[in-house]
Structure 1
Amino acid sequence: MVSTMQGASSSSPTGHRVLLVEDDSELVESLSLALRDEGYAVDVALDGQRGLHLGLTRPYDVLVIDRRLPTLDGLDLLKRLRSKAVRTRALFLTALGTVHDKIDGLDAGADDYLVKPFDLDELSARLRALCRRAQEASELLRIGDGHLDLARREAVLADGTRVPLSTREFELLRELAARPTVVHTRSTLRRSVFGEASAPSIVDTYVYYLRAKVGRSAVRTVRGLGYRLGTL
C-alpha cells in the first residue's frame, strides 16, 4: 500500500504531535514507526469515535484521518471537530480518490487530501508543509491540554469549552503562558500587565478572577515568590 520511506529528513519537525485515525492495523504500525523515526509524537485512534475524543481533548499539530472508519465516518469526524472550533491542520488519507471525494473532504474542513496507495516520502513532505503552515499561522499558546486563543482572546479548556476573558485577564494569562517555566514575581506582573500605578494587590485580584473563570489549576502559586503558569 505504501512505499518505503527514506531516512529521516534533517528538516523533520521534531516534537510536533500527530493524531493518526486509521483502522488498518498494518498501515497504522508502518506509519507510526515511520513518523516517529522522523521525530513526530504519534497518537493512534482505530475508530472515529476514539479519534473524536482525542481530537477534542488533546492538542495536535496535524490530524491524519481515513475516510472509512468504524463507529464514525472520517468526514463526520472532521466536521464535528470543526464545529467545536478545533482548527488543527488535517489531511485525509484514503482510497476514495475521485474529484467528488476530494471536494467532499476539503469542504468538510481538510487542508490536504492524499489517495491510497501513496508514497511515504510524499506524505512526510505534506505533513512538514502542514506543520509549517500551522506554525506560521499559530494564534494559540498551549496551557496543558488547553490553550489560549490569541485571536479571539479566549481560554479554551481541555474539554473544548471556550471562556471569554476580560482585557486584563487575557493579558495576565498571556504573560504567564509566554514563559511557562518562569516564576513571575508580583511586582514584575504588575509592571508588565497593569502598569506601575496599579495597587500592589491587583495581581492577586486578577489571579483570583482567572481561577474563578478557568479553574484554580490555571495559575500556580509559588510560595514566597509569585506565580507561574499551570494547566487548563
Structure 2
Amino acid sequence: MSDGARILIVEDDSSLSAMLQELFAEEGYQVTLAHDGQRALHLVLTRAFDAVVLDRGLPLLGGLDVLTRWRRSGVSVPVLVLSALGNPADRVEGLDSGAEDYLSKPFDIDELLARVRALLRRHETTATTLTLHDGSTFDPSARQVTRASGETVMLSERESALLEVLARDRNQVFERATLLRLAFPVAEELGVVDTYVHYLRRKMGRGVVETVRGIGYRLGAP
C-alpha cells in the first residue's frame, strides 16, 4: 500500500484521468487531478506532492514545459512522464527535461503502479538528509541541523516536522492550513504553525523561514 502518498495526475483526457484517479485512490494514494499545464504548474508550486504522473500533450502549457519550469524553480518532486510519444528520442527528451521515469501509452496498469512505487522509494532514500538555503544540512530522523561551520542545532519533534515540510519543497509557498495538515496533523489551531515558525527562527535565525504576505510561509533564502 501507499501509506497515503500524495499523487498529482496531470492528464487532459477526462476518461483516462478519471480511471487513473480511481486506480491510485484504490491503492491508498491521496490523488489530485489537473487537466492543463497551467493548473499543474500552479499546484506543484503551491502545494506538496510526493510524486507526479505527467502527460506531455497538455492544453495551455505543454507537459515538458511545465516540468522544466518546476525544476528551474527548485521543485524536486519526482515525476513520471506518461505519454503517447514513446520513441527513444522522446524518452530522452523527457528525462533530460527533469523526469525521473518515462512510460509510453498504451501502458500496463501493474507496470505503472510498480514504477510509481519505485519512484517513491527512490525519493525517500535520497531525501533522508536535506540541504537548506544557507548550506546547512538537516537530518529529520535525528532532528538535527548541521551548519556549514560544523555547529549543530537540535530541534524538537514539532520544530523538525515543520522544517522538514518546508525543506522538502524548498521554493514552495505553503498556506498555513497546509502546513498545519502536513506538519501537525493532530493540531486544530492555525496559530500552532505561527508558534513553531517563531521557535525555529529563535533557534536558527529569522531568515530560516520566510513569510510570504497574504499566503503563508516558505523556506527562507540565504
TM-score by length of 1: 0.64
Tell me the SS of whatever aligns to 1:214.
Answer: strand
Structure 1 vs Structure 2: percent identity of aligned residues?
Answer: 43
**Pairing 1:153-172 to 2, within 5 Å after superposition:** 153=133, 167=147, 171=153
Instruction: Give the Cα separation in 2 of the matches to 1:205 and 1:68.
Output: 43
Paired residue for 2:104?
115
Tell me the SS of whatever aligns to 2:79.
Answer: strand
Instruction: Give the Cα separation in 1 of the matches to 2:155 and 2:40.
Output: 30
1:46 aligned residue (35, 39, 43): 35
Quickly say closer, same or farther: Cα 1:211–1:173, change in 2 above 3 A: farther
Quickly say closer, same or farther: Cα 1:212–1:49, change in 2 above 3 A: same
1:132 aligned residue (121, 127, 134): 121
Quickly say closer, same or farther: Cα 1:205–1:67, change in 2 above 3 A: closer
Instruction: Give the Cα separation in 2 of the matches to 1:72 and 1:50.
Output: 9
Quickly say closer, same or farther: Cα 1:205–1:19, change in 2 above 3 A: closer
- Deviation track 1:128-155 (CA, whole Å, cap 9, x = no partner) reads 0001011111147xxxxxxxxx223559
Instruction: Give the Cα separation in 1 of the matches to 2:108 and 2:96.
Output: 24
Quickly say closer, same or farther: Cα 1:211–1:30, change in 2 above 3 A: same
Q: Tell me the CA shift for residue 178 of structure 1.
A: 4.0
Bigger Rg, structure 1 or 2: 1
The count of corresponding residues between Structure 1 and Structure 2 is 172
**Pairing 1:1-232 to 2, within 5 Å after superposition:** 12-139=1-128, 150-153=130-133, 167=147, 171=153, 176-178=159-161, 181=184, 206=202, 209-210=205-206, 213-215=209-211, 232=218
Paired residue for 2:176?
none
Structure 1 residue ranges without an equivalent (≥5): 1-11, 141-149, 156-164, 184-202, 218-229
Would the aligned equivalents of 2:153 and 2:203 in 1 still touch at CA under 8 Å?
A: no
Q: Tell me the CA shift for residue 15 of structure 1.
A: 1.1
Would the aligned equivalents of 1:14 and 1:38 in 2 still touch at CA under 8 Å?
A: no
Instruction: Give the Cα separation in 1 of the matches to 2:201 and 2:35.
Output: 46
Structure 2 residue ranges without an equivalent (≥5): 136-144, 163-182, 188-198
Instruction: Give the Cα separation in 2 of the matches to 1:132 and 1:44.
Output: 22
